[in-house]
Amino acid sequence: MHILSARIDLNAIARNTAALKRRAGSAELVCVVKADAYNHGVERCVPVMEAHGADAFGVATLAEARQVRALTNKPVIAWLWSPTEEVPEGVELAVPTFEHLRMLIDAPLSPTIYLKLDTGMHRSGFDEEQWGEVFAEAAAAEAAGKVRVAGLMSHLSHADAPGEPYTSTQGERFRAAIARARAAGLNPVRNHLANSAGTWSRPDLHFEQVRPGISLYGFDPVPGEDHGLAQAMSWVATVLAVKRVGEGDPVSYGLTWRAPAAGYTALVPAGYADGVSRAWQPHLEVTLGRRRYPVVGRVCMDQMVVWLGANEHGVRAGDEAVIFGPGGVSATELARRVGTIDYEIVCAPKGRTRREYIELEGSAQ
């Protein structure tokens, strides 16, 4: 083990993928592996997802698409790219503007594309008043052999709130868009709207594909719901030292914390250069021997200090400290404490963090 590791359980990735495949029903499962599989590592996660139900993969950038395309023969769709970039062959593309569409029409690619529509999130995609024009232009380009329109796509803004009527409104707009596209001469056969939350909470919005992300890595996007997912990442470190301090002794920078009594501290080699935000400090507890201990004083660039009190359980150098994940405070609980979302927490480990993997059960590796 390294002194600072993101431990990824591939068995959890496999189980979560299979669960989402079952939930998708007749729809294809597009596994979202952007941001290096939400910081879990595409090189190890993509093959596991492919073996347990993935029908296609989704990424943000073209650089990510190239990396994933080298790992699988399944379709890979990218949706965050500039018309000035060189588009790799074999990558399917979301098209959010006329500039993107016209660049592809003029390029010698004949790519498979998805027209990206704004159904109410107001982030990217063609606005409703543009739909007639873009459908007509895309149909003409398809008839000329310039592009192949596989389907339409959009994004739900609030599917993690069951019963939110705006989700139904977006679904109605998306259905209307499909009908208008067909009337314009297109044949969109792989349409997708549902993210993780939509996959679980709105089977009526599955269409031909679903596009979950965070649930692949073990997180329920709808607060309070439990679909039996297994969180795959634990962020763990090795205690480097245990130190005695006296009552009133200050710890770390700025004299922001003093020992309430004589006792012991543990030094954990993770700091803000590794992804432990200084803003986490008042909320962060590190787990040692299945007992939680508070982080005290200011988080430093490459280390933080944990208060052990009298150290009655005998924490010592070499012990494993769980910053978050199975065996410690969950990423979801930490996110709630610091006022963010678990997506951000699992994307935090960086810097000197090294990934290590729990192999698939029965794997020969």
**H-only helix segments in 42-97:** 42-51, 62-69
C-alpha distances (whole Å) from 47 to each of 199, 229, 353 are 22, 19, 23
Cα dihedral 154, 224, 331, 298 sign: positive
- The residue from 21, 34, 116, 146 that is catalytic is 34
DSSP bridge partners of 357: 8
Which residue, 90, 84, 49, 85, is CA-closest to 67? 90
- The residue from 217, 243, 253, 357 that is catalytic is 253
Q: Is 38 a catalytic residue?
A: no
Q: Is 74 a catalytic residue?
A: no
254 burial level (CB within 10 Å; 0-12, 13-18, 19+): exposed
User: Which 3 state secondary structure label does DSSP give 61?
Assistant: coil
Residues 6+ apart with CB under 8 A from 45: 8, 10, 13, 33, 37, 216
Q: What residues act catalytically?
A: 34, 253
